[in-house]
Structure 1
């Protein structure tokens, strides 16, 4: 049979010892095989890639043990073994993340745990930008220095770098990102990225990041007295942006930061971009009111965009919904791009998105309060959006600006004729 044994520096359980003593083959990560109670004739193999080392080994006629660090069920080897048809017995040790937070003296039920391995460094960095307490599992090319270079100096954070936890080279180092970019690191397993002002966190009922907002498309007056995007328009824009943990969203010239703030409430990292100083101050005040993490960039996105973090989704508000601004953002290849153009530039905006590989569509939204005399068509808003690298749904984009029909009243409304 196949058994997976986790190690964390503490004495092995009797079950783990028995599995090792009866194993004909023991495969383990380098440094974890020392001092194990193996049989005298057992073969031992040190390997970084345990699944590859197990390839071709028949576990049906001999006992095989894989030795891993911590809990193999948390970003570990267990998933890959199950995907390959194995059904191992699992004897876990304390997870790396639990041991790291114990070293830092912090509770971790409210921590966001992410992996920067296998090409996910950018998503891990965005999670650290948006959340105050993140445990990052590291890998080659995705360690403390790479995290620090991406976060410093815009995002103030502290690092707790945990190297070789419970091993002979254990080292736990508290550093600022600027220092982390220059120090040598001995293949750390986990880095805690903390906003010291909120590192303790609040009592919660759920493990991991806080749940998403209870409500969204907030009322217009939630962003100050001056009118911004209507809630119905903002709801549609948010649906097309699809903000998620690990995403970077640009809110370009929304006027009040409402789109960016709502994306931040969903857990995305956000940068608001605006050319007007007074508007930037208004956005900063709205950010403070809503208690979210949003970065502010003053300037024209056409010239500053190349200096901002790579976007996953971009919203361009009516303040800069011009084809050349759309083109400047489209060349960066975000997955989603949403624009509020005027009627004169809507068709050209669609063409720009299509030319840059987006599946593009558009709609005209109209809305009016119940019982209001104004007709929905008196205040239309055109929304153009494009998607890249989205699985095909079998539906062609219409390329026709469609109206969403609205009704000024509900059946049975006493203000309606015949009610």
Structure 2
């Protein structure tokens, strides 16, 4: 028989509560049960439990052996999973392997439970997973989403838990303002009320300090919450923590889910403040009467490569829309990326990257320009970390970027940016003499290099009602992409 038809598979989600009758019936009938050790233990289904010698039980480790066993099995099978198997769960792996379940019995997802325990609506939240290769990229990507967006749920992983996430968000001292709601042991199966530590006071200055604790130490050690301290245990518990408190903790009970909330934009219970009105850059996702129509982040409104009038700037010192369009295309900013805007000026490039969902750090040495940049970001309803300083020296302690735009500062800035291994680098130049040295630096770094001379002319009216095309200053755009 084919893998698609051999086994009659029921996928069962478990959230710690009593299983529904159809799930219990499927388990009783199954001659093959696949699940994680925690679920099998909680439901008394481990192979050594002595309940049913005729049933084969596979404890999940690597997924491939379990998929192979299911494909070879001829008879009823059950797969146990956490919460909703179709939400970052095993259902995708099954269907992609050609193992189409006969039935899926979902439970409440851990994300839905975490938001419910916190008392926060989540139809406008982004959900990201820190599970992945284990080399830190997935955690950095999750942190970038948290930097750029006000309401994010993070599905944690070993080595990528709440403490590590907090440390990553504190990286560089960028003044990130976030509350972490850490929901632990949501599916522990205990018939008790969850312990919820609500905040006493989150009106302190933003966390921008480094910590020296071991944020992913052994679970079970006691840590300090902003509310009332409660020892880590197997009981379901939800804690509201500042970034500094989370980073200093020695461990969190597992499994856990983290909600990363910006108290300036999200109504956090116990915080005592209402969310601020969103700026012009965030599209309205509500219908008339205040009802939302789209879940998650809706994306930027009003297009991209906005006119210069959309940004406060000084004496025409702004990257023109025509140039910005090509720069954005080569930077390719997206949700989960971190973009550096170096020599940011008005911040038009960085702000447009933020409007497209990326996290952005804008570096500018002029104090007045920094102030305008911050005002522009607020006007567009996006979050941009503004760093006053001179590159490349100021780059040393910043979180590593995925893409870099260099709008000023010379070849030393380009070389300094390359030391941080971004995937994409785009440089805008006014003088042709500098094109060669920039291209050579990018090539020496092993990148695929390209360039364009942008010569645009805009239609302008004449006194007699006709029009002419007025030339803009030429700009050389050079880029390099990692192979």
| Superposition TM-score tier, normalisation by shorter sequence | 0.7 to 0.9
Q: Does 1:85 align with 2:98?
A: yes
Which of residues 208, 216, 220 in structure 1 aligns to 2:296?
A: 208
SS of residue in 2 equivalent to 1:345: helix
Which of residues 357, 372, 390 in structure 2 aligns to 1:267?
A: 357
Q: Does 1:118 align with 2:132?
A: yes
Correspondence list, 1:215-294, <5 A:
215-226=303-314, 227=316, 228-294=318-384
Deviation at 1:114, TM superposition (A): 0.3
Which of residues 67, 89, 105 in structure 1 aligns to 2:80?
A: 67
Q: Which residue of 2 aligns with 1:193?
A: 260
SS of residue in 2 equivalent to 1:31: helix
Correspondence list, 1:120-135, <5 A:
120-135=138-153
Stretches of structure 1 lacking an aligned partner (at least 5 in a row): 390-419
Which of residues 440, 458, 472 in structure 2 aligns to 1:351?
A: 440
Between stretches 53-62 and 106-115, larger displacement belongs to 53-62
Aligned equivalents of 1:358 and 1:312: distance in 2? 14
Q: Does 1:100 align with 2:94?
A: no
Deviation at 1:59, TM superposition (A): 5.0
TM-score (normalised: structure 2): 0.76
Alignment RMSD, CA only?
Answer: 2.1
Cα deviation per residue 1:114-146 (whole Å; 9 max; x = unaligned)?
A: 001114111100000000000000101110010
Q: Which residue of 2 aligns with 1:177?
A: 243
Q: Which residue of 1 aligns with 2:165?
A: 147
Aligned equivalents of 2:416 and 2:343: distance in 1? 14
Deviation at 1:18, TM superposition (A): 1.2
Q: Which residue of 1 aligns with 2:427?
A: 339
Q: How many residues align?
A: 386
Aligned equivalents of 1:112 and 1:290: distance in 2? 20
Stretches of structure 2 lacking an aligned partner (at least 5 in a row): 1-7, 46-50, 191-233, 268-274, 276-284, 287-291, 461-466
CA contact (8 A) 1:20 1:36 kept: no
CA contact (8 A) 1:97 1:135 kept: yes
Deviation at 1:83, TM superposition (A): 2.3
Aligned equivalents of 1:37 and 1:272: distance in 2? 54
Distance 1:48 1:180, change over 3 A: farther
Aligned equivalents of 2:414 and 2:88: distance in 1? 39
Deviation at 1:348, TM superposition (A): 1.3
Distance 1:29 1:338, change over 3 A: same
Distance 1:164 1:357, change over 3 A: same
Distance 1:24 1:350, change over 3 A: same
Deviation at 1:31, TM superposition (A): 2.7
Deviation at 1:325, TM superposition (A): 1.5
SS of residue in 1 equivalent to 2:248: coil
Deviation at 1:112, TM superposition (A): 0.1
Aligned equivalents of 2:110 and 2:179: distance in 1? 19
Q: Which residue of 2 aligns with 1:15?
A: 22
CA contact (8 A) 2:177 2:263 kept: no
Aligned equivalents of 1:254 and 1:69: distance in 2? 45
CA contact (8 A) 2:459 2:469 kept: no
CA contact (8 A) 1:130 1:267 kept: yes
Q: Which residue of 1 aligns with 2:182?
A: 161
Q: Which residue of 2 aligns with 1:392?
A: none
Aligned equivalents of 1:174 and 1:49: distance in 2? 34
Cα deviation per residue 1:85-120 (whole Å; 9 max; x = unaligned)?
A: 211232111111111111111111110000011141
Deviation at 1:37, TM superposition (A): 8.4
SS of residue in 2 equivalent to 1:18: helix
Cα deviation per residue 1:138-164 (whole Å; 9 max; x = unaligned)?
A: 101110010000112531111111111
Deviation at 1:231, TM superposition (A): 0.9
CA contact (8 A) 1:213 1:266 kept: no
Cα deviation per residue 1:213-267 (whole Å; 9 max; x = unaligned)?
A: 3311111121125221111111111111111000000111132100011111111
Deviation at 1:49, TM superposition (A): 4.2
